[in-house]
Amino acid sequence: MDQILGQVLRNAVWERLDMLSDLAERADDTSVVSVARSELPRLTEGWRAMLKAHEPDERGDCPTCSTRWHKCKAPCSVWQVAHEHLVAGGLAPQQSTRRLGRRRAAPAQAAPAQPVPQQQAGKHALVPPPAARGAIAGAPVR
C-alpha cells in the first residue's frame, strides 16, 4: 500500500512539473507572469526545505543521504544538482528539458539504468491512471 501511495505522490509532483513546463513554453506573456508570481515563491520554498534537509552535519556528512554504513560527504548529490540547475545552469546555453529528459543525471554522475517495473502504466505510473483504477475496481472514478 505504501508503494501505491508513494507512486501517487510522485505522479502528482511529475504532473505538476509537466504542467508548469507546458505553461512556460506555450502560455502568453501575461499568463506566464501570473503563474511565475504564484509558483516561484512555492518552488523556491520547496528548494529551501529540501536543501535544509541536506545541510551537512558537524562532521561534514549529509544526514539525509548518509546511512549507518555509508557516510555521504557534503556536498551531496542534492546540493550538486541544486547548484547545477540554480547557479551554473544560468551560465549554460538553454536547452529544452523535454529533449534532455528530466530524470537524466549529470554525465559525470550517471547511474546505470534501472529496469522499469512491469506494472508501470501511464506517463509516470506504477499504478494505472485513476480512470483505469475505477474501471478495474468497478467503482466510479471521482
Residue 126 domain-assigned (yes or no) = yes
Residue 123 has a pLDDT of 54
What is the Cα–Cα distance from 77 to 81, expressed in whole angstroms? 6
Q: What average pLDDT does range 64-87 have in this prediction?
A: 94
| Backbone phi and psi for residue 118, each to the nearest 5 degrees, phi listed first | -65, -20
Residue 141 has pLDDT above 60, yes or no: no
Q: In whole angstroms, what separates CA 115 from the centre of its chain?
A: 19
Residue 127 domain-assigned (yes or no) = yes
Residue 104 has pLDDT above 50, yes or no: no
Q: Per the structure, how many domains does the chain have?
A: 1
Tell me the residue range of the domain where 64 lies. 2-88+119-135
Residue 113 domain-assigned (yes or no) = no
Residue 97 domain-assigned (yes or no) = no
Per-residue pLDDT tens digits for 1-43: 788 999 999 999 999 999 999 999 999 999 999 999 999 999 9
